[in-house]
Structure 1
Amino acid sequence: MSAPHIAVYGATGHTGRLVAAELRARGRDVILAGRDGGALKALSDELGGLPVHQAALDDPAALRELAGQAAVLLHCAGPFTHTGKPVARAAAEAGCHYVDHALEQHHTKWMFDTMAEPARQAGIVMVTAMSFYGGLGDLLAGAVAEGVTGIDRVVAAYAVSGWRLTKGAKKTAELLFADTQRITYEDGVQHVGYVEPRNAVFPFPPPLGPRTMIAPVPFAEVVTVPRHVPARRVEAQLTAHTFEEEQAFTSEGVDAETRAGSDFTVAVQVITEGGGSAGQASGHDLWRMSALASVEAAVRLADGRGPATPGVYGPAEAFPAEPFLRDLERLGLFNLTLPGKA
């Protein structure tokens, strides 16, 4: 693929701006894309005059034109329940690699079920769920489970404080928690149907310690992890206090510095009959972590360092999990602890 550009769809949102600025700082050729031409022009001026491309979600020709100009289309505009299909289809039709930030289970499943064959025919790689929620848990599961056999259960547990939702994230959260047709993975089989939430306690290592969790939460791990970890059960959990914080759902207008104030620990347990293994990543600013993870994925695809076989991949399928996590750690995004390793 000769086109050197990485197109960022949803570039004027909080995550999109972080992505575009990081790519620009790395000297990459970037196209700023989205629905609001005025906002795109303003962002372009801030970043030194990057090219812009206005494309509405209901304008497939404009989306295909965008994808046709790029080596990789990096999709940052959620909720992906609403935005995912037209952008992913445009990438496949134009023969452009694709990365998205989706955490929604049904979009992730749709990507694997529907886009795998178009991706193969187009000779492209599509990486879905390369985000904080869903993506970091998937990568940790891949790293912790490496070399482990007889896995009964994988639990990805998110402890998050100071999360300030954007407008798009708020809409995504409302969609997720209103969904009565959730995807679960039990007894080695994927199920879809109503799930009764429960309280659980997850034993985070010190200094965090045990925390009350919402379980399960409808994140993408139940779709992505079983593709590369042979487990009987996969579940994601989230600290109950995360959404109890007063400003979580009233923070659409906060500034970028305030939004960067989140703290997180994501821990994964891989449980076997004889014991198991665990690992974790602890850091600050989940938005930046999510943005730079997708940048790392897009840059690898643009440079020909992705999977050799075209198709649709989750994060830990697309890239070796521990090396990818170590690269993110070197960027200062978190401190990583893996079994037997500092």
Structure 2
Amino acid sequence: MSPRTNIAIYGASGHTGQLVARELAARGREVVLAGRDGGKLKALAGELGGAQVRQVALDDERGLRELAGEAGVLVHCAGPFTHTGRQVARAAADGGCHYVDHALEQHHTAWMFDEMGPRARAAGITMVTAMSFYGGLGDLLAGAVAAGMSGIERVTVAYAVSDWMLTAGAKSTAELLFADTRRITYTGGAFHVGDLEPRNAVYPFPPPLGPRTMIAPIPSSDVVTIPRHVRTGRVEAQLTADTFTDERVFTSEHVDADTRAGSRFTVAVQVVTADGNRAGQAAGHDLWRESALASVEAAVRLADAEAGDGPGPGVYGPAEAFAAEPYLRDLERLGLFTLTLPAS
């Protein structure tokens, strides 16, 4: 693969895309701003002091392929990935560039592994899917907590989120997930797809949160990714039931960026064996920034990888692509959260 080091961002004019673009520009990276709204992209380029702009629609296969062909890495930020993921991922493979996405939808994640894995290997590129807050942070935490453990019976990922304000794209994604009855679950050491009735559960968050009532399970991508690197019989993701009691969650598409940055979160993982359990967590604020910078770290690593370094060609979840604890420590040093992990 040619040594292209620039990083293209599809969906750069959206909230997450702008965070990704600004962080990369602040690090002195050459960025290409891409998406459907040329006016917004040009305005963002001006704010950044200049950047290449590519106005490309999702149905423009040639344009997407040309975008990927000019980039070292393509970061896909434009959800819902149920509608946008396949076009951009295929273009990355055709254009021969590495790829990172923010998908949290289970079925897109499974499709990436099943369908794009052979294409990524044939193209000699690395594709990292589900590098988002929901799904991605849980996957990394599970990898760090479960490291070196055997005889694991179950892994539970618990998301405690407050003051979460959805963007238009995230609202559309949430509506799709709530309407989808074909949930992917992992029980008995195998994946299952089918109808599932959510239940209330209680997760024992440590102080100051304490035990919280949870919606369980939620259709998060870490249920798909964790079994790929943690040998276990069961994986379940949960979300605090009171997250959606705030009426602003679904009426906040147009709030300003500072207000949107006010979200607070604790993501905890419990790994249970017959002899006991181990747990870890990350607690911070602004889940949007966490998601954006997690993908920036992935994109930079892929862009800078020397021949033979990195995870190699194929499709990976976050903790498959990168060593989980060091990756989390790097995110912690960026001020995204405070990390609590069991002693090695």
Which residue matches 2:225? Answer: 224
**Aligned equivalents of 1:4, 1:235: Cα separation in 2:** 37
- 1:330 corresponds, among 320, 329, 333, to 333
Which residue matches 1:176? Answer: 177
Mark the runs of 5 or more structure 1 residues left unpaired by the alignment: none
Task: Tell me the alpha carbon deviations over residues 176-230 of structure 1, each in whole angstroms, 9 at most, x when there is no partner.
Answer: 0110001000000000000100000000000100000000000001110000000
Cα drift, residue 308 of structure 1: 4.0
Which residue matches 1:42? Answer: 43
**Aligned equivalents of 1:307, 1:197: Cα separation in 2:** 39
TM-score relative to the length of structure 1: 0.99
Please say if residues 138 and 268 of structure 2, whose CA atoms lie closer than 8 Å, have aligned partners that are also in contact.
yes
Task: Tell me the alpha carbon deviations over residues 287-313 of structure 1, each in whole angstroms, 9 at most, x when there is no partner.
Answer: 000000000000000001663421000
Which residue matches 2:5? Answer: 4
**Identity of matched residues, %:** 74
**Aligned equivalents of 2:76, 2:183: Cα separation in 1:** 23
Which residue matches 1:310? Answer: 313
Which residue matches 2:260? Answer: 259
**Aligned equivalents of 1:326, 1:52: Cα separation in 2:** 33
- 1:321 corresponds, among 292, 315, 324, to 324
User: RMSD across aligned C-alpha pairs, in angstroms?
Assistant: 0.8
Task: Tell me the alpha carbon deviations over residues 131-173 of structure 1, each in whole angstroms, 9 at most, x when there is no partner.
Answer: 0000000000000000111000000000000000000000000
Are 2:113 and 1:119 aligned? no
Cα drift, residue 2 of structure 1: 1.8
Which residue matches 2:200? Answer: 199
Which residue matches 1:187? Answer: 188
Cα drift, residue 332 of structure 1: 0.3
Which residue matches 1:143? Answer: 144
Which residue matches 1:76? Answer: 77
Find the residue that maps to 1:78 and give its secondary structure: coil
**Aligned equivalents of 2:50, 2:311: Cα separation in 1:** 34
**Aligned equivalents of 2:204, 2:79: Cα separation in 1:** 32
**Aligned equivalents of 1:235, 1:172: Cα separation in 2:** 20
Find the residue that maps to 2:226 and give its secondary structure: helix
**Aligned equivalents of 1:40, 1:60: Cα separation in 2:** 20
Runs of 4+ more than 6 Å apart: none
**Aligned equivalents of 1:118, 1:191: Cα separation in 2:** 25
TM-score relative to the length of structure 2: 0.98
**Aligned equivalents of 1:200, 1:4: Cα separation in 2:** 46
Which residue matches 2:165? Answer: 164
Cα drift, residue 340 of structure 1: 2.1
Please say if residues 311 and 322 of structure 2, whose CA atoms lie closer than 8 Å, have aligned partners that are also in contact.
no
Which residue matches 1:130? Answer: 131
- The number of aligned residues is 341
Task: Tell me the alpha carbon deviations over residues 29-61 of structure 1, each in whole angstroms, 9 at most, x when there is no partner.
Answer: 000000111111111111111110011000000
**Aligned equivalents of 2:245, 2:70: Cα separation in 1:** 44
Find the residue that maps to 1:115 and give its secondary structure: helix
Task: Tell me the alpha carbon deviations over residues 238-294 of structure 1, each in whole angstroms, 9 at most, x when there is no partner.
Answer: 000111111000000100000000000000000001101000000000000000000
Mark the runs of 5 or more structure 2 residues left unpaired by the alignment: none
